[in-house]
Structure 1
């Protein structure tokens, strides 16, 4: 099952982010309900491996924290993706490393790539990426936060002609500071 582990964003944050891409002349904006911060893309993992990962995530005992979104950027030539960045936060890094470790312990093979925390806002086909430039110019210094992070979510990703559709498989709370 194609899946990933991510931080869900509050509705008000997703609405603000959707406002950044409302005037794009090309490309495909990510629907607000699908905006998230990916901690680990699991690919097409077998169900038994996802169950093992679920067991590990259920025992997760890391503290809740806050993060701040800051700055817009792009990935790929053209570019292919418009995103909003996340300020470095030690607890976010620790959480991401723990999720990756649990996924590998469950036997899920992950791509080895540096963690660049971001929220994808839009995707572009070849030749459409120039549509990101006015958004970058107008909102490049965008900042929003602090945003509470009190849990993580295991999602299934179903590919279709209109793009991916995400389904929540399970939510895992983080520890409140006062416990």
Structure 2
């Protein structure tokens, strides 16, 4: 199973993020991420044997609670691979602590995780063909309500996500 931990936006925020992506789609000529697929990845695991799901559920249940905290998204930009993203210009200590604790627990349990620097972001578009300089947007608050363990299935139409568990 292809798995990752994420924080999902509520329906209203997903709609606002998708609305933010609409004009960027025309400008960058990219493919928008459907509202139901928008998420903030905390840790990507890749392929994991199904028999390790209970271990992941235990790790998820021991994470610090960030409920009541929100991350402020206030900029958009584009990476060289054609990924148009939304992010915050300022660090969010609760989000940083959550991601660091999760990644440490996963590594301690022997799970393979990405070793690159964690850059929290929401992917808005994929395969952008025109560059987009990083610039400010009207702030959006992304509540850190609950952490989800997600399964990802790749199809010709793109990835489809399914929530397997969530905390709290």
Query: How does the TM-score come out when normalised to structure 2?
Result: 0.88
Once the two structures are superposed, what CA deviation does each residue of 1:111-137 show, in whole Å capped at 9, x if it has no partner?
Answer: 20101010000001xxx521x54xx58
Task: Please tell me whether residue 122 in structure 1 is matched to residue 125 in structure 2.
Answer: yes
* Counterpart residue number, 2:59: 56
Instruction: Show structure 1 runs of 5+ residues with no match.
Output: 174-179
Q: CA RMSD in A?
A: 1.8
* Counterpart residue number, 2:116: 113
Query: How does the TM-score come out when normalised to structure 1?
Result: 0.83
* Consecutive aligned runs of 4 or more in structure 1 exceeding 6 Å deviation: none
Instruction: Show structure 2 runs of 5+ residues with no match.
Output: none
SS at match of 2:77: strand
In the TM superposition, residue 99 of structure 1 has moved relative to its aligned partner by: 1.1
* Counterpart residue number, 1:2: 2
* Counterpart residue number, 2:103: 100
Q: Distance in 2 between matches of 1:56 and 1:147?
A: 23
* Counterpart residue number, 1:80: 82
SS at match of 2:102: helix
From the CA coordinates, give the structure whose radius of gyration is larger: 1
Q: Distance in 1 between matches of 2:17 and 2:47?
A: 29
Task: Please tell me whether residue 68 in structure 1 is matched to residue 72 in structure 2.
Answer: yes
Q: Which deviates more, 30-39 or 53-62?
A: 53-62
Once the two structures are superposed, what CA deviation does each residue of 1:139-164 show, in whole Å capped at 9, x if it has no partner?
Answer: x3113343321211000000000010
* Counterpart residue number, 1:176: none
On the 8 A contact 2:6/2:43 being kept in 1, the answer is yes
